[in-house]
Structures are given as structure tokens and as C-alpha cells.
């Protein structure tokens, strides 16, 4: 199995790539070439907010069977405080790029009569997050993409799912708290399990979803959020 993980130079993506080495050949992409080199995987340097032709070619060259759309950008600002280029950049990275990359990978999956697409969404796309409207709406868009693609591709033995993490113990997660109006203690108090999700939990769920044991799971948004989506 040939697996591509986007946004794999750090955080969740880096842990996913490392975890999946045991089940297939892992390819990675991101913006930081030095970090990608350290992964030990064949890599492609690409900024998903810009021209992604180089990454589309990379997908075709390497016959990707499993696509994990993990790369994302977060901004904590009121919508009226964002510039037009900020809005467009977030949508390109978080929603348009996953759709384009999926479109490139799907023909090979169809030919093989097997494939997996996993989108890393966010609990903010399920519940909404004040002052993160573009991030939230882009992640909500991933859920719509997931459901529709799952229907389109079911007959080809291709599954499409989204994992919606809550607060994750990564640099991005901590920085997003620092940018917000809340402290870490206040955030944790709102989480039923009183903890952050660890990146390895996301990685292990990815490993399960690409397995044959999970072949009946498709079109789903799976909330991996320590109970945050249920209530407080």
C-alpha cells in the first residue's frame, strides 16, 4: 500500500506518517523540507495554499492507494478582521486542496478497486467555533465532501471518512489556545475527560480505518474529542 500524508512535517501528520510505516510505504508532503527529510520517507515539498501541481504529479507518479488529508491552517480572528487573502488561503489549504488531491488519487484507486481517503477535520467543523469561522466552515466542508465522495466511491471498494479531533496536544493546538481568549486550564475544564487528545490516538484511528476490519465504515465523521462534542 502506498500512503500519502499531507502536513507531515510536524504535529499530527508527522505522528500519522510514523505510525503507518508498519502497514505500507509512506510518502509525505509539507512546507518544511528539512523536517520532511528527517522522516525517512520519499517526500514532496508543497504549500497547499498555492500551486499544488507538483504534488498532484507526485500522487500520480507514486500510485497512491491511501490519501490522508491532514494539512490545515488555523486562524483565530473575527471574520470582519480577516483580509480577503486570509480567507482564500485558509479555504485553499483546508478544503480545496483535499478535494483536488482526492480527485487526482481516485482514478488509480478505482482501477485497483480499492482505496482509502481519510480527511483530518476538527470538532470545530462539527460544533462551530467563535472567532474561527473560516477554519470551522472549511472543516465542515470536509464533512460534506466525505459523505458525498463515500457514496460515489462505495462500489469501487473505496472508503472515505473524516476524523474530527478535539483539542490535540501539539504545538498548533497550544498556539491556538494562546491566540484565543481562554487559558489551557479553562479549555480542559470544558472537556469531559479533562485532557487533550494525543496525536498517536489520531494516528492509530487512521491505522484502523485503512484496515480491512474497517471496510464497512465509510462516509462517517468520527469525533475523537474526549467527549467535547457531547456537551459539558
Tell me: the pLDDT tens digits for 37-81?
999 999 999 999 999 999 999 999 999 999 999 999 999 999 999
pLDDT of residue 153: 98
In which region does residue 223 sit, left (phi positive, over 0), alpha (psi from -120 to 50) or beta (all else)?
beta
pTM given for the model: 0.94
Q: Please determine, for residue 179, whether its predicted confidence score (pLDDT) is greater than 80.
A: no
Secondary structure (3-state) at 30:
strand
For residue 189, the number of C-alpha atoms closer than 13 Å in the C-beta half-sphere is 5
State the average pLDDT for the chain: 95
DSSP 40-98: TSEEEE--TTS--HHHHHHHHHTT-SEEEE-------S-GGGS-HHHHHHHHIIIIIHH
Q: Please determine, for residue 105, whether its predicted confidence score (pLDDT) is greater than 70.
A: yes
**At 197, which helix (H) or strand (E)?**
none
Decide yes or no: CATH 3.40.50.720 for domain 2-170+198-224.
yes
Per-domain residue ranges for the chain?
Answer: 2-170+198-224
CA dihedral over 179, 184, 186, 188, signed as positive or negative = positive
Average pLDDT over residues 14-18: 98
Cα–Cα distance, 36 to 40 (Å, whole number) = 8
Question: Which residues are identified as catalytic?
Answer: 135
Amino acid at each position: 500500500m502506498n500512503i500519502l500524508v499531507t502536513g507531515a512535517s510536524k504535529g499530527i501528520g508527522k505522528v500519522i506518517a510514523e505510525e503507518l510505516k508498519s502497514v505500507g510505504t509512506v510518502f509525505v508532503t509539507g512546507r518544511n523540507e528539512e523536517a520532511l527529510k528527517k522522516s525517512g520517507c520519499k517526500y514532496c515539498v508543497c504549500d497547499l495554499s498555492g500551486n499544488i501541481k507538483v504534488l498532484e504529479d507526485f500522487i500520480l507518479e507514486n500510485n497512491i492507494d491511501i490519501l490522508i488529508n491532514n494539512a490545515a491552517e488555523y486562524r483565530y480572528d473575527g471574520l470582519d478582521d480577516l483580509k480577503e487573502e486570509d480567507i482564500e488561503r485558509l479555504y485553499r489549504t483546508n478544503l480545496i486542496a483535499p478535494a483536488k488531491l482526492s480527485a487526482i488519487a481516485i482514478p488509480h484507486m478505482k482501477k485497483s478497486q480499492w482505496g482509502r481517503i481519510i480527511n483530518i477535520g476538527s470538532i470545530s467543523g462539527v460544533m462551530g467555533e467563535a472567532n474561527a469561522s473560516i477554519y470551522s466552515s472549511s472543516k465542515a466542508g470536509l464533512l460534506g465532501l466525505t459523505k458525498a465522495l463515500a457514496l460515489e466511491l462505495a462500489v469501487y471498494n473505496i472508503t472515505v471518512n473524516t476524523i474530527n479531533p478535539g483539542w490535540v496536544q501539539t504545538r498548533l493546538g497550544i498556539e491556538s489556545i494562546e491566540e484565543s481568549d481562554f487559558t489551557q486550564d479553562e479549555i480542559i475544564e470544558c472537556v469531559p475527560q479533562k485532557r487533550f487528545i494525543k496525536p498517536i490516538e489520531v494516528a492509530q484511528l487512521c491505522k484502523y480505518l485503512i484496515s480491512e476490519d474497517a471496510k464497512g465504515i465509510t462516509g462517517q465523521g468520527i469525533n475523537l474529542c474526549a467527549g467535547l462534542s457531547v456537551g459539558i
